[in-house]
């Protein structure tokens, strides 16, 4: 049993829940993924292992695991929620608006903002998730070329009048 699943089992038991085979499968699928997974992706991977696990069981289990802080639910702009193993109290993403490339940012990026918010506003067990959206270099260049093409400009303005 992986460390994440073992630690999750301990927390489930402390909270009065059992690590059922379905919960074990869902935790394993999320832990083994090297990416954020949608419900559809989780369902597909779980049902490859056991086709009798229903979608409603998956939804209920995800809600329980999220409530207990074992998994993190990310709401990336324009997409359905995605899930991943919860690690630490902060989790930040930089997302390209066009190709959806996602970069995980260092959780220390915002310094001690989490602690400041807890202290000033008296919130407890606070998680801090930042989603910043923009355009990666490739998509930005493509967008600029599309704009120029739509305006009927063959070359960027800075290239005009630069004859050798």
Binding residues for Zn(2+): 96, 99, 136, 139
pLDDT higher than threshold 80 for residue 121: yes
User: What is the rounded CA–CA span in Å between residue 109 and residue 111?
Assistant: 6
Burial class (CB in 10 A: 0-12, 13-18, 19+), 131: middle
| Contact status, residue 44 vs residue 26, Cβ threshold 8 Å | no
pLDDT at 11: 86
DSSP annotation of 160 reads T
Binding residues: 96, 99, 136, 139
| Assigned superfamily of 89-164 | Ferric-uptake regulator, C-terminal dimerisarion domain (3.30.1490.190)
User: What is the rounded CA–CA span in Å between residue 90 and residue 33?
Assistant: 19
Identity of the highest mean pLDDT range in 86-100, 106-120, 137-151? 137-151
Nearest CA-CA partner of 96 in 30, 127, 128, 142? 142
- Reported as a single tens digit per residue, the pLDDT across 7-48 is 888 889 898 999 899 999 999 999 898 788 999 999 999 999
Q: Which residues of 4-32 are buried (b: 16+ CB within 10 A; e: fewer)?
A: bbeebbeebeeeeeebeebbbbbbbbbbe
Q: How confident is the model at residue 110 (pLDDT cuts 50, 70, 90)?
A: confident
Q: Structurally, what CATH architecture does the domain formed by 1-87 represent?
A: Orthogonal Bundle (1.10)
Q: Read off the pLDDT of each residue in 90-106 and give the average, rounded to a whole number.
A: 84
pLDDT at 10: 87
- Whole-model pTM: value is 0.67
Q: Which residues of 65-92 are buried (b: 16+ CB within 10 A; e: fewer)?
A: beeeebbbebebeeeeebbbbbeeebbb
**Average pLDDT for the chain:** 85
Q: How confident is the model at residue 161 (pLDDT cuts 50, 70, 90)?
A: low
Q: Could you state, in order of their start, the residue ranges of all structural domains in the chain? A: 1-87, 89-164
């Amino acid at each position: 049993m992986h460390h994440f699943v073992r630690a999750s089992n301990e927390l489930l038991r402390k909270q009065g829940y059992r690590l059922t085979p379905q919960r074990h499968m869902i935790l394993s699928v999320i832990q083994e993924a090297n990416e954020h997974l949608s419900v559809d992706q989780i369902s597909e991977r779980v049902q490859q292992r056991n086709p009798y696990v229903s979608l409603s069981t998956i939804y209920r289990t995800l809600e329980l695991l999220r409530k207990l802080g074992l998994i993190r639910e990310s709401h990336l702009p324009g997409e359905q929620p995605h899930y991943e193993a919860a690690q630490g109290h902060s989790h930040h993403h930089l997302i390209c608006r066009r190709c959806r490339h996602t970069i995980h940012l260092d959780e220390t990026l915002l310094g001690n903002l989490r602690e400041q918010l807890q202290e000033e506003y008296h919130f407890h067990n606070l998680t801090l998730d930042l989603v910043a959206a923009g355009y990666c270099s490739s998509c930005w260049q493509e967008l600029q070329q599309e704009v120029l093409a739509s305006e009927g400009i063959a070359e960027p303005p800075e290239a005009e009048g630069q004859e050798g």
